[in-house]
Structures are given as structure tokens and as C-alpha cells.
Amino acid sequence: MMQKPQTSGEPVLSCHGLTVRFGGLVAVRGVDLGVHGATIHSLIGPNGAGKSTLINCLMGFVKASGGEVLLAGRPVTGMAAYKVAEMGMARTFQNIRLFGGMTVLENILVGSHRNLETSIMDLLFRRGRAAAEEARFIERARELLSFVGLSGKDDQLAGSLPYGHQRRLEIARALMLAPSALLLDEPMAGMNVVEKAELAGLISQIRANGTAILLVEHDVEIVRSLSDRITVLHHGERIADGLPDEIFADARVQNAYLGREMMHVEG
């Protein structure tokens, strides 16, 4: 398989010596990671490796015990998740977290707050500036619905969508933040082969638009085909980092992950 070229320049999202402790348990230990723009950087490892903990720490849902997180060269370590989102990082979750009783369009508009320019008073009294901004957000939301393959579903309740479409909606909502870095935590969980292939195509399009993507995914073939670079965690430590062919030929990775776990992993 032809290897994808190595990236150059500063990463959009990086962490250095990142450590997370829960009491006496060290869930993530001194991890270094760098995700460049317009690349898919996959994070893999066996059960309990610390993948989801690392994602949660990068986004500000879990407090770091040590190390630092940088977004576009700016420190975001210790910031609340909403502040990290405002600075340009967005994510999806292992378990879909949509507002099931709201429409598809309303769910996407939830992600527009980062770009809000009007004041609270403008919004309360629906002044002209607020109305114009609302129209702009609605137009952008519909563009994103088209991008993820959900055109014409604006007024459907999010909870009524098929499972695969709910996954797409969650990604569209994250993209509404116009993030420079997108964290996808097992976006293909529960999907069949066809749905996975379609979603892989969508993720590739997001990369082509310039976004830095950190992907946690348990399907080895999907990881191999999509990734520009892969980092492997084991017991909270980084044991390998490199191009896909390098990673899957690494004896440490095979022993810690591929052979023993039989390709079924969880963060």
C-alpha cells in the first residue's frame, strides 16, 4: 500500500507530556501527540488504553494532572470545554448526544454559539442585526445538512432519524463551530459495512476541507485506509506513533493490540 506523505509545519492540535490521574490510577501517562491540518490522525489501542480519557482531556471534559494541550499554538490546558470549543475544537461522542425532541435544524443551530456576534438585547428584542445573523446561521446549517447527506430533513425530529443519520447529524453540529480540530470518538460504532464506508467518505471530505481530525476507531481496516498517521496507546502510554504501514508492522502493536484484542477495542 502506498504511504501517505508525512506532514510538515506546526500541528493544529498537540499535547506534550499529558497525564491524567484518577486518584491512584494513572489513566494517561506522559503522552505526546500532534495532529496537523488536513490530516486524519487515528488513536488506537486495546480496552482501557486511555483513548477516550485522552480525548476528554484534550477537549476539557477531564482535568489534566500534568503536561499541556495546545490548539493552534495556544495553550488550552485546564480550560472549560465550552472555552476550548470557542477557540476552535469540536467533538462527537461514543454515545450519540443529540437533542432528540428538537428538529434536525435546531440541533445544528446549537453549534452556532461560538460565532454569535449579536448582543443578548439584540436577540431578546429580535433586532435587525439578530434576524440577519439568524438567517446566516440557518443558511450555513442547511449547507452542512447537504454536506453530510441530510438535505430536506430540517424539520424532522432528531430522535426519529435512523442511527446512521444521527451520527451524521452529530458531525454536522460539530462542524457548525467551524473547528480547526475535530475529535471523533468512535463515530462508526454500531454501523454496518455500507454505513461505515459512507461515513469514511464523509470524514475524508472533512479532511480535504482542511480540518485536523483526531479519530478514535476500533475497525482496523477503516483505520488503515483512512489514517495519515496513527498513535497507539497501551495502559495509558504511547507505545507507537507513525504511518499506517509502520504501525501495523510494529511488533509491540501486534502484541499489545492486534493479536490479543482481535481488533475489538474500546477507549
pLDDT tens by residue, 68-96: 999 999 999 999 999 999 999 999 988 88
Q: How deeply is 155 buried, as exposed, middle or buried, from its count of CB atoms within 10 A (0-12, 13-18, 19+)?
A: exposed
Dist. CA 53–CA 55, nearest whole Å:
5
Q: Are 231 and 36 in contact (CB under 8 A)?
A: no
Distance from chain centroid for Cα 97: 13
pLDDT in tens, 237-255: 999 999 999 999 999 998 8
Hey, what domains does the chain have and what are their CATH numbers?
A: 11-88+180-267 (3.40.50.300), 99-178 (no CATH)
pLDDT value, residue 267: 44
H helix intervals, the chain:
51-59, 81-86, 104-109, 120-124, 128-147, 163-175, 193-208, 220-226, 244-249, 251-253, 259-261
pLDDT value, residue 265: 39
Dist. CA 168–CA 163, nearest whole Å:
9
Nearest Cα to Cα of residue 45 among 34, 58, 55: 55
Provide the mean pLDDT of the chain. 88
Q: Which amino acid is at 146?
A: S
Distance from chain centroid for Cα 23: 27
| Whether the predicted pLDDT of 160 surpasses 70 | yes
Dihedral pair phi/psi, residue 35, rounded to 5°: -115, 120
Radius of gyration of the chain, Cα coordinates, nearest whole angstrom: 19
What percent of the chain is predicted at pLDDT more than 70?
85
pLDDT band at 3 (very low <50, low <70, confident <90, very high): very low
Inter-helix orientation angle 128-147/163-175, to 10°: 130
Q: Are 99 and 52 in contact (CB under 8 A)?
A: no
